[in-house]
Structure 1
């Protein structure tokens, strides 16, 4: 399984895999991710999505040591994250030799009703 970056510990993230082996992250609701009373902070949601994207990319590359550098990350907040665990996963939509595109989705009860989504672009510094 792919190692999580250090920021994941601050968010309390744990990682499992779905039935296809794709990494799924879980962020528990806690005071450390609280925004307005009873809801997740937008920064915690964005951090979860970024880590879901990089985890999906590292999984696709098959290594933790791939030189991946974020270029852009765009988050769309769709609904408030409430007092419940939040799950997230990423999908690599393009994996080139120098650039990768990864979409990430965060949800609570139903993956078809995301609380936020992200589009990310990464520069790949891989050995030739």
Structure 2
């Protein structure tokens, strides 16, 4: 769902199956480079945000919950290679969803960033 949005398309994000789970993949592109040889942190945060939104869309069928807040931890520099993100819903309440996401590149066990979101359901 989320991969069809104009922003996700601009970033080149697509959905891929990995071990039976849905994962978002963002291919490296020169337009996403921040400092030389590394991805811009904002596009890494965007990938994490879109992964959280995708997890809500898949679980609830609601592609546009309203973000309440977001928090990102950048753990290491994102190199100019393909990046992957996957989110999980920690808690789904009547009005608020808590989600977290992980972003990695070559090795899922060495994440480059993590994120948390609280989203308001309509």
If the length of structure 1 is used for normalisation, what is the TM-score?
Answer: 0.89
Name the count of aligned residue pairs. 121
- Maintained 8 Å contact 1:23/1:55: no
Corresponding residue for 2:11?
Answer: 11
- Which consecutive segments of 4 or more residues in structure 1 shift more than 6 A? none
Residue 112 of structure 1: aligned partner: 109
* Structure 2: gaps (5+ residues): none
The question of whether the paired residues in 2 share the 8 Å contact of 1:11 and 1:27 is answered with yes
With structure 2 as the length reference, what TM-score do the two structures score? 0.93
Specify the SS of the correspondent of 1:90.
Answer: strand
Distance 1:29 1:10 in 2: 12
Aligned-residue offset at 1:3:
4.1
Question: In the alignment, which residue of structure 1 is the partner of 2:42?
Answer: 43
What's the offset of the Cα at 1:18? 3.0
**Gap regions ≥5 residues in structure 1:** none
In 2, Cα distance between the equivalents of 1:67 and 1:81?
28
- Could you say which structure has the higher helix fraction? 2
CA RMSD of aligned residues (A): 1.3
